Copies of this chain bind each other. A is one copy, B any other.
Amino acid sequence: MEGQSKGSFNVMEESERNGKGRCGSMVGTCDLVLRVLAFVLTLVAAVVIGADKQTAIVPFKLVESMPPLYVPVAAKWHYLSAFVYFVGANAIACAYATLSLLFSLGNRRKGMESLISVFDTLMVALLFSSNGAAIAVGLLGLQGNLHLHWNKVCNVFGKFCDQVAASLFISLLGSITFLLLLLLPHVFRLKQTT
């Protein structure tokens, strides 16, 4: 009887261990896929906004009573510090995604796993702050602000703004990918406890 109980306990333990092993390997696979995705998305986001540039012909009045002069005006991403920070953050996150991918593909020791988790967390903070900054400034460019007399610029630089919006969307997906890298172990642990 005791032997039977011990035997069934061993079987349960074994199946639990197998379950944990399967779960662990699933987390490992998801982790790798997410790191590849994070690399691609942050790279594309940085390149899309980094290559963004538009020149538009804008009417410019020197004297009120004279007809306006038409002057070519350029819009470049580095005119706004929020976009400079955004490009820098995406570039750093992209480089880190490559490094962490290489370490994840190699033999991961417990210490290395913790170190990667620390840097994943820092990347989430960095990317979300840069997305917040770029989206806030992008919205001001799109809508302007009546109270501050800041005119919208997207009615003049439509193509430039579209490209910024695309880059912001891609970077947001990249940030969510890094967020998922942090959430994944907790979600699997939650699934195991329920």
Show the binding face of A for B, using Cβ within 8 Å.
64, 75, 79-82, 85, 109-111, 114-115, 117-118, 121-122, 124-126, 128-137, 139-141, 145, 147-151, 153, 175, 179, 182-183, 186-187, 189-190, 193-194
Contact = CB atoms under 8 A, between A and B. Distances in A.
Q: Which of A79, A124, A126, A128 has the most CB of B within 10 A?
A: A128
Copies in the complex: 2
Contacts of A81: 136, 139
A147 B157 CA distance: 13
Contact of A132 (B117, B130, B182): B130
B80 A118 contact: no
7 contacts: A75-B147, A82-B132, A114-B193, A118-B186, A121-B121, A128-B128, A129-B129
Contacts of A149: 151
B150 A148 contact: yes
Contacts of A110: 189, 193
Contacts of A189: 110-111, 114
Nearest to A143: B81
Given A132-B129, A153-B148, A140 B139 contact: no
Contacts of A126: 128
A85 B133 CA distance: 12
A171 B75 CA distance: 32
A190 B118 contact: yes
A182 B178 CA distance: 14
A146 to B, nearest CB: 9
